């Protein structure tokens, strides 16, 4: 993996004190970016954790599906459900549902934003082996990406970005086996190979994964750079312009098998915004410590503001 360079363009500043921040891009055109309300995002995150672990085939998982579809509808999206029965690596039949909320459904140029909403049934990375068979809260691994996307939906409902946007909550990402790459991202694999509605095809995609951790950092991800260097550059420029450049450094993190890879396999350029440190994934990853105590609202806010800047300055 080679190093890469990019230059953050311009000196865009951000006004405060109103609902919409006024920003000037490099061509000095006034572009209005709606506010990302981190308290609202946190309430979306907390609600998911309060439902209980969103493990496929449980009542908390079914409650999450109903709630996600209702929230997207409440924020004006046209909602499509994609139920699918998926066989996990251990033979378990997972009753999965992908949930998509579409904005400007008639436009052809479509940005797909996705995050998984299911949570891992086993804290198999916990330091205490006694916890390895217990389910995790998934405050970061699952709920954080969903929370940012729901708050993004709320912003889009207030201000139409005039491009096609699909917000996809994918199921059955986290029921995988450590030594089996094909056992992860089952919901997105199904989505990528079975059109959720006739003629549906996004132009590009951004995946959010573990976007609420304390001390998070989001270097570039290998398959993202291979597949979509221009999207990755543009996202990092947007983050810098929104004041969050230090969280999105222009250097390589790691190669991560994640939902975006299933989209890349079918030719959709996609990037993964994922917390990756020198020590690996966020230290709470697949442990019982992936709970509300280890969420930093400032991380959610940085990711949410960067994403909104990207959407409204494309």
Residues that bind ligand AHN (CB under 6 A): 141, 174, 176, 184, 209, 256-258
- Applying the rule CB under 5 A, the residues between 78 and 137 that interact with Zn ion are 120
Identify the bridge partners of residue 234 per DSSP, sorted by sequence position.
none
Using CB under 5 A, pick the residue from 141, 151, 272, 290 that binds Zn ion: 141
* Residue 221 interacting entry, from ligand AHN, Zn ion, none, C-beta within 5 to 8 Å by type: none
- Candidates 126, 151, 166, 174; binder of Zn ion (CB under 5 A) is 174
The secondary structure of 21-84 as a DSSP string is EEEE-TT--EEEEE---HHHHHHHHHHHHHH----TTSHHHHHHHHHHHHHHHHTT-EEEEEEE
The candidate with the shortest Cα–Cα distance to 208, out of 126, 307, 119, 291, is 307
Q: Which is nearer to Zn ion, 144 or 152 (CB)?
A: 144
Instruction: Please give the full DSSP string across 145-177, using - where no structure is assigned.
Output: HHHHHHHHHHHHHHS--SSEEEEEEE-SSS--B
Q: Which residue has the tokens 């030594």?
A: 179
Tell me the closest approach of the beta carbon of residue 174 to ligand AHN, in angstroms.
5
Q: Is 290 in the site for Zn ion (CB under 5 A)?
A: no
Place of tokens 């190669």: 255
Please, which residue, 173 or 233, has the CB nearer to ligand AHN?
A: 173
Shortest distance (Å) from residue 289 CB to ligand AHN: 14
The smaller minimum CB distance to ligand AHN, of residues 80 and 188, is found at: 188
- Can you read off the two tokens belonging to residue 299? 């991380």
**Is 245 buried (19+), middle (13-18) or exposed (0-12) by CB count in 10 A?**
middle
Q: Could you tell which of Zn ion, ligand AHN, none binds residue 258, using a CB distance below 5 to 8 A set by kind?
A: ligand AHN
Q: Which two tokens stand for residue 24?
A: 């000037």
Answer yes or no whether residue 258 interacts with Zn ion by CB under 5 A: no
203 binds, among ligand AHN, Zn ion, none (CB under 5 to 8 A by kind): none
Q: Select 256 or 307, whichever has its Cβ closest to ligand AHN.
A: 256
Question: Strands 110-116, 204-209: parallel, antiparallel or unpaired by DSSP?
Answer: parallel
Helix (H) / strand (E) containing 110: strand 110-116
Q: Which does 309 bind (CB under 5 to 8 A by kind): ligand AHN, Zn ion, none?
A: none
Q: How far is the CB of 46 from ligand AHN (least distance, A)?
A: 20
**277 beta partners:** 280
Judged by beta carbon distances under 5 to 8 A according to partner kind, the member of Zn ion, ligand AHN, none in contact with residue 257 is ligand AHN
Which of the choices ligand AHN, Zn ion, none does residue 184 contact, using the CB cut-off of 5 to 8 A by kind? ligand AHN
Contacting residues toward Zn ion, per CB under 5 A: 120, 141, 174
């Amino acid at each position: 993996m080679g190093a890469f360079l990019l230059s953050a363009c311009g000196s865009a500043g951000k006004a405060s004190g109103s609902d919409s921040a006024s920003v000037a891009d490099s061509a000095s055109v006034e572009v209005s970016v709606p506010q990302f309300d981190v308290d609202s995002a946190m309430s979306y995150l907390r609600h998911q954790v309060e439902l209980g672990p969103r493990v496929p085939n449980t009542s908390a998982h079914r409650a999450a599906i109903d709630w996600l579809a209702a929230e997207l509808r409440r924020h004006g999206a046209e909602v499509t459900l994609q139920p699918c029965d998926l066989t996990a690596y251990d033979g378990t039949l997972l009753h999965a549902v992908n949930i998509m909320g579409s904005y400007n459904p008639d436009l052809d140029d479509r940005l797909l934003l996705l995050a998984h909403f299911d949570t891992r049934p086993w804290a198999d990375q916990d330091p205490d082996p006694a916890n390895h068979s217990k389910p995790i809260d998934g405050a970061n691994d699952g709920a954080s990406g969903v929370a940012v996307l729901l708050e993004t939906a709320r912003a889009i409902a207030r201000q139409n970005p005039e491009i096609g946007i699909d917000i996809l909550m994918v199921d059955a990402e986290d029921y995988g086996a450590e030594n089996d790459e094909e056992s992860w991202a089952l919901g997105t694999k199904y989505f990528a190979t079975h059109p959720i509605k006739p003629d549906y095809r996004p132009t590009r995609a951004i995946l959010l994964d573990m976007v609420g951790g304390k001390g998070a950092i989001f270097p570039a991800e290998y398959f993202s750079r291979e597949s979509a260097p221009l999207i990755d550059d543009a996202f990092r420029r947007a983050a810098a312009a929104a004041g969050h450049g230090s969280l999105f450094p222009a250097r390589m993190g790691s190669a991560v098998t994640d939902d975006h890879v299933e989209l890349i396999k079918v030719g959709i350029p996609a990037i993964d915004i994922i917390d990756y440190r020198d020590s690996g994934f966020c230290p709470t990853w697949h442990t019982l410590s992936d709970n509300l105590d280890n969420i930093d609202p400032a991380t959610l806010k940085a990711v949410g503001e960067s994403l909104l800047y990207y959407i409204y300055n494309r």
